[in-house]
Structure 1
Amino acid sequence: MSYIWPLDATVPISVVGGIVRDFGSSPNDGINPAGGHTGDDYAAVIGTPVRAPGDGVIAFEGWVEGEYWQNPWWLDGKGGIVCVLDCGDNEPTFIMGHLSRTVVDKGQWVKKGDIIAYTGNTTTIPGGVGPHLHFEALPPGYILNGPTYGRVDPARYCAGYWADAAPDQTTTSSAFVFGIDVSMHQASIDISATGTRWVAIKATEGIGYADTALDSNLASARAAGVPVYFYHFARPTADNDATIEADCFVRNVQPRYQPGDGIVLDWEAENQDDTAWAKTWLDAASARLGLDAWIYMNTSTATTHDWAAVQAKYPLWQADYGPNTEHGFGTARTRPDAPGWNVAAWQYSSVGRLPGYAGDLDLNIIYRTENNMAITEADAKAIAHQLLIKEAWTGGPQVSLVLKALYEGFYVGGDSTVDGESLMTTLGKILTKSADPAAIAAAMPTALAQQVAAELGKRLQGEAA
């Protein structure tokens, strides 16, 4: 992916006391670390639009609280209002500070060139730089120790400006679970090109109907290597028995299912008040396939009828578009309220546009960590293998990935002896800004990795039961 600078080309680099405030300037001056200034300062007047340097997910926005080691980027309160854009596991992360405000929410997927914030002067030194944008870049797999705390010159990645470059390939971060849903209407989609992390595919409708693009869409999803959620479009009429519809769905899904997939009941046709019908279908399909299930519906339906029996067992995939746009939920990505529901996912746009398909797409986010959604077998294997074995601790860059995973709450458990907060505290005592990678590796006991791996094992066993 190519990246752009977040401000217009006419905005100059700040100059203070004759010193240009670019990356690496003023080392060891009592403010900057040994390697010098950790980013570029741009002398922008307050309220100048700040654009996303690339496609990615907003990993953080707002005032930074707590100690620097309590977040994956080693941010402290000196940055004022900050916005962090994570462009993917193999792509850079960008940090923008001293903002007056942001117009995005954590977890929001944005495209290159989208306005994500406005410049400001929050928490800057009186009589110092003055209003400006502080812009930093972290390379993929960054290690936070070293003379610039892992930061590199943004010019390594940013070569153009919004006026010069059009958006290109979409990427997403593994810390956020962005997905799409498709049916026969998207039969020609190239799922690999979209950057999606999961896909919901229509399998069946009513009694006896299988979606004509089920196999082609499934093949595209398997080629992309992403989990699949098979969904059934319910037709709860007087002539259609819920159990028979569930059996029809099971017959079509069972030979196509792979570990890590899921199932969903799409509830948007007739008799939406017949919540007992929905529960019968969910009970039958989940029991026959041995899988947990979701139910999909809009906010109005989810908050109008008596869903108590369904709510007690099945999470909601909520459809609510707000100011429906091709990039997402406008400038406010706060999910609309759905009292009583455990919300598994939110469909926030029905007119989304992504590479790999020329028409409208439904854009979604899974709230896995926020709503205690189950981690998949693939998640557990990837985390345990890449992050938690002894070799990973000595590899250096993986430490940043551990911090990201902890920050997103992968390891927060009920009555377990290991949770994200305690591990962050332990790491915080080890990961000082003066420590070098070798010191970090030496201080990381194998027992810590074993504890977390055991935690993952307990959770997987609990889900299987």
Structure 2
Amino acid sequence: MADNKRKLRFKSIALLEAVIILFLAIALIWVGLIRGRNEAVPANAGSQDPQVRRRAVIEKEETFYQLDGKKILMNDGTYGEIFVPVYEDVPASTIDLNELTMRNGYAYYKENGQVVSTTGIDVSEFQNEIDWEQVKQADIDFAFIRVGYRTYGDGIVTYDSAFQRNIEGALDAGIKVGVYFYSQATNANEAIEEADAVIDALAPYDITYPVVYDWELVGHDNARTDGVSVEALADCCISFCERIKDSGYTPMIYQNTGTAMHKLDLPRIKDYDFWLAEYADKPSYYYDFKIWQYSNTGRIPGIEGDVDLNICFRPYDGKAKAKDKDDT
């Protein structure tokens, strides 16, 4: 009988200890949540002087789970055919692939029987010296010029050695111009630094086509961006594009189909124009895109070696940035 009472007392003590531990755990979690809220700093914290370029307000909303059942079939090197959910809040492409044709190595797009697309290239210092007059005579309407890049090892922002020569040569030849920056940013601050470098470089020029954020995964090597999360990449895209938009230019994001579908948080960047890289006879990308890079082995008179070929489905006819009255 005494043993039973002793066992009952031990059980009561153990139960009381468990209850106390549970209450302490709940209290610690609650204190942590309150402290985290008080110490959290928004992306645009710290007001800046109106003369200084502002930071983007980074808004985040969970949009991964889609419940309508729609899906996109894709091919994966490991799993073969896979499917990913369709984002209902991300605009789908409206391009009629039946109206997309190839002729003499160039892609063309028609509406109501009329060609409405323009043909373009993108170049950097790797194309060496370019004869832009010959490029213009080859029916090239626009060119994206690389402004610069961030090194994928040391993370140093560097201007393309041929930027000035290429942008002035293209503009003088009557070719419409956009620019891009090859990013290896790992956070929003670095993306802003890259955008500012682009804005400073563009100050002397009037461009027509967008300013493009080109963030790419580096394969077959160790790069500083290898561990960048989906959330951090979206923060970089938004920070760069908003900085560019604040300066009066049209921002755009460049990406290939695989990285776009698996790495980009598409609902968060849906408001920016998209430039698709997919080397195929027809694009398979489900969502909206304004420009399609369909080849990296194009040959154009005036350019030594291979060059990327692009089609813009609806041309950017207006100025990407209006000149100030003091500049006129």
Matched, 1:290 2:248: yes
Taking the TM superposition and a 5 Å limit, the aligned residue runs for 1:193-204 are 193-194=134-135, 195=138, 196-204=140-148
The structure with the larger Rg is 2
**Equivalent residues of 2:125, 2:161 under 8 A apart:** yes
Matched, 1:242 2:191: yes
Seen in structure 2, the aligned counterparts of structure 1 residues 238 and 317 have a Cα distance that, compared at 3 Å, is: closer
| Higher RCO by CA contacts (8 Å cutoff, separation 6 or greater) | 2
Q: CA RMSD of the aligned region, Å?
A: 2.6
Matched, 1:317 2:275: yes
Question: What CA distance in whole angstroms lies between the structure 1 residues aligned with 2:319 and 2:196?
Answer: 26
Question: What CA distance in whole angstroms lies between the structure 1 residues aligned with 2:142 and 2:210?
Answer: 10
Match of 2:240 among 260, 281, 297: 281
Taking the TM superposition and a 5 Å limit, the aligned residue runs for 1:307-456 are 307-311=266-270, 313-322=271-280, 333-339=281-287, 342-368=288-314, 374-376=316-318
Structure 1 residue 219: Cα displacement? 2.2
Question: 1:375-426: CA deviations, max 9, x gaps?
Answer: 4369xxxxxxxxxxxxxxxxxxxxxxxxxxxxxxxxxxxxxxxxxxxxxxxx
**Equivalent residues of 2:119, 2:141 under 8 A apart:** yes
Please, which runs of 5 or more residues in structure 1 have no aligned partner? 1-103, 113-172, 323-332, 379-465
Question: What CA distance in whole angstroms lies between the structure 2 residues aligned with 1:181 and 1:299?
Answer: 18
Taking the TM superposition and a 5 Å limit, the aligned residue runs for 1:103-114 are 106-110=100-104
Secondary structure of the residue that 1:236 maps to in structure 2?
coil
Secondary structure of the residue that 2:272 maps to in structure 1?
coil
Question: What CA distance in whole angstroms lies between the structure 2 residues aligned with 1:239 and 1:296?
Answer: 17
Secondary structure of the residue that 2:100 maps to in structure 1?
coil
Structure 1 residue 210: Cα displacement? 0.8
**Equivalent residues of 1:302, 1:338 under 8 A apart:** no
Question: What CA distance in whole angstroms lies between the structure 2 residues aligned with 1:214 and 1:343?
Answer: 26
**Equivalent residues of 1:187, 1:217 under 8 A apart:** no
Q: Counting helix residues as a fraction of each chain, which structure ranks higher? A: 2
Q: TM-score, normalised by structure 1?
A: 0.39
Seen in structure 2, the aligned counterparts of structure 1 residues 184 and 272 have a Cα distance that, compared at 3 Å, is: farther
Question: 1:146-171: CA deviations, max 9, x gaps?
Answer: xxxxxxxxxxxxxxxxxxxxxxxxxx
Structure 1 residue 110: Cα displacement? 1.6
Name the amino acid aligned to 1:301: T
Question: What CA distance in whole angstroms lies between the structure 1 residues aligned with 2:229 and 2:204?
Answer: 30
Structure 1 residue 250: Cα displacement? 1.0
Match of 1:264 among 212, 216, 219: 212
Match of 2:179 among 226, 230, 236: 230
Taking the TM superposition and a 5 Å limit, the aligned residue runs for 1:41-60 are none
Name the amino acid aligned to 1:338: Y
Q: TM-score, normalised by structure 2?
A: 0.54
**Equivalent residues of 1:272, 1:301 under 8 A apart:** no
Please, which runs of 5 or more residues in structure 2 have no aligned partner? 1-97, 107-113, 151-155, 218-224, 321-328
**Equivalent residues of 1:264, 1:296 under 8 A apart:** yes
Name the amino acid aligned to 1:291: Y
**Equivalent residues of 2:186, 2:236 under 8 A apart:** no
Question: 1:187-222: CA deviations, max 9, x gaps?
Answer: 312233232100000002235411000011112201
Secondary structure of the residue that 1:228 maps to in structure 2?
strand
Aligned residues: 196
Seen in structure 2, the aligned counterparts of structure 1 residues 111 and 296 have a Cα distance that, compared at 3 Å, is: closer
Seen in structure 2, the aligned counterparts of structure 1 residues 216 and 183 have a Cα distance that, compared at 3 Å, is: same
Partner of residue 24, structure 1: none
Question: What CA distance in whole angstroms lies between the structure 2 residues aligned with 1:232 and 1:250?
Answer: 11
Structure 1 residue 253: Cα displacement? 1.5
- What stretches of structure 1 move > 6 A for 4+ residues in a row? none
Secondary structure of the residue that 2:262 maps to in structure 1?
coil
Question: 1:11-52: CA deviations, max 9, x gaps?
Answer: xxxxxxxxxxxxxxxxxxxxxxxxxxxxxxxxxxxxxxxxxx
Question: 1:129-161: CA deviations, max 9, x gaps?
Answer: xxxxxxxxxxxxxxxxxxxxxxxxxxxxxxxxx
Partner of residue 166, structure 1: none
Residue identity over aligned pairs, in percent, reads 29
**Equivalent residues of 1:231, 1:263 under 8 A apart:** yes
**Equivalent residues of 1:345, 1:364 under 8 A apart:** yes
Question: What CA distance in whole angstroms lies between the structure 2 residues aligned with 1:208 and 1:337?
Answer: 31
Partner of residue 221, structure 1: 170
